[in-house]
Structure 1
Amino acid sequence: MGEVIKQSVTVSDDQAGRRFDQIAAACFPDFSRARLQDWIREGFLLVDGAPRKPKEKLYGGELLSLSVEVQSEARWEAENIPLDIVYEDDDIIVINKPAGLVVHPAVGNYTGTLLNALLYHYPDNAALPRAGIVHRLDKDTTGLMVVARSLAAQTDLVAQLQDRTVHREYEAVVRGVMTGGGLVDAPIGRHPQNRLKMAVVRGGKPSITHYRVLKRFAAHTHIRLQLETGRTHQIRVHMSHQRFPLVGDDLYGGGLKLPKSCPAELEKVLRAFRRQALHARQLGLIHPITGEYMEWEVPLVEDFQMLLDSLADNEPVEKKSTGDQQ
């Protein structure tokens, strides 16, 4: 059983002449317009006890009644998987995700995911779609994620992500030496041949990534990135598209490629680094209930820092990166 939601509200006169779905969005702000439109079509949201079409106009005084059971995520098993909680209150949880943790169950990964862990540590999240998850990090990407603890918070966070007001900064190590920072504005969609991959494609979803150089090495570059959009594999796709694939990214980097005359110590570290060198270092957002801007930052994880240390010890820096900006 999921959470049963029952609410009613009378349409005010100043909303007269507007569409049913527009009025519903104003009257039930805890829910997204897309969700309300689905409930209207499915007959869970009625006008004076009768179903109406989303585009029909209302004229004030009607009674809108909502009665719906939100599907529970309890069909997934709750598992006692440790979580690194950076911040939590009654409405949100900020998590520092480790490498190797899948965010949501899917084919081949029905257990051992962040969602399974959330159901164990926060049982009430079973009443929320996707157990409160509003965005994802790839399995082997580390760093900060926010999870909602209430339907109102989830709706607001999703809207912030869609409005591009959530601040997300990443660090990465790429193959090749960048001359400076830049902007990638290239649409992303499913790869036309390989359905496991995304790609820059005509007709894809708008995707924007900013990046700047933190430090150059002889054959690699340490960069910081900021996302405007949040497409699947966005940083990995955009950097590969720029011909600077992430270290350790077999899917978009074509497997291990060692630089010429690679020192033995660095070769050992590169061969051992079998995930994309990508870390979600900083997350900033407007608290969905209090309206306060909040920001968190977590340091690089051990294997990422070891990679940087090995590059510093074994690849002479070609040029100073002082003053490089996006």
Structure 2
Amino acid sequence: MAELNRRQLLAAALGAAGTLAVGSGVTRELWPLLGREDLVPGRTPQVALQEGAWTRAADRLTFAAVGDTGSGGRQAMAVANRMAEGYRDAPYGLVTHLGDLCYYGSVEDRFDDVFTRPMRPLIDAGVRFELAIGNHDGELHHSDESLAEIDAELRLLGTPARHYTSSHGPVDFFYLDSSTPGLFGDDSSEQLEWLDDALVSSQNQWKVVCMHHPVYSSGAHGSTPGADEVLEPLLARRKVDLVLSGHDHHYERTRPQDGVTYVVSGGGCKTTPVGRSRFTASAASALQYLHVDVVGDRMTGRSVRADGRVLDRFELRAREGR
């Protein structure tokens, strides 16, 4: 097993919960982090990709989605390498990042480790990255320091706001700040009203919502409290096709819930256990990303493991009568 480099060792120390004590206390607090697989250094992807190789058409789009990539370690590199291999086989011009871009330290200090190095082949190929902010991206807005961390991340990725829309080919994307108080707290009404208006105004064939916290999950964090009351009725009423999220470090796809399919793709650098619930169509604890092809009224998704095996496939048809 490779040793941690000095930068990762420092990042682990900065991210450790609680205050590190001196002497034996340092060993006691830091050792669990040093043994974590997501912190073992990995080789930067070396895949050479053709720039701008994806198809551009009004009725076609290929994109990737991944969440919780922020360790900069071997497992993150493995997923990033597979994403580059996926581009080489079926090029895409967009990655929707589902939050938690950076663990174990400041994004300003770690941006090269957690984003630039692993994603270098895709960056060099001209792929666009769009972000749904996560809970580790600022620790749920609890302080001025956390807000500054979020603002730094938005600036570094060129993200326009904490919630925003984008359009690519036949797909409209709606990015949410799903933290508390962003979407589920006392100040949630402003963002919900914005989302309702944005969905009503959408004229594209497909509607995809991207957020960090899952509406449905059978994993460690589980379904987000309040989402079934606050958000789900709106998504169903406005006939959203697909909701993508991370937060739980597994893959899970639901059966359509009031016409909406929900996917958790949080296996970008670490895994946690996942069970099965009444809503589950497919679930696995695996390092993976999502590769999606849209052609006309058909959307086909593949969950691809870090080793290249396909974990799950699904197909959606565009909803009528919007």
**TM-score exceeds 0.5:** no
TM-score (norm 2): 0.29
TM-score (norm 1): 0.28
| Larger RCO: 1 or 2 (CA < 8 Å, sep 6+) | 2
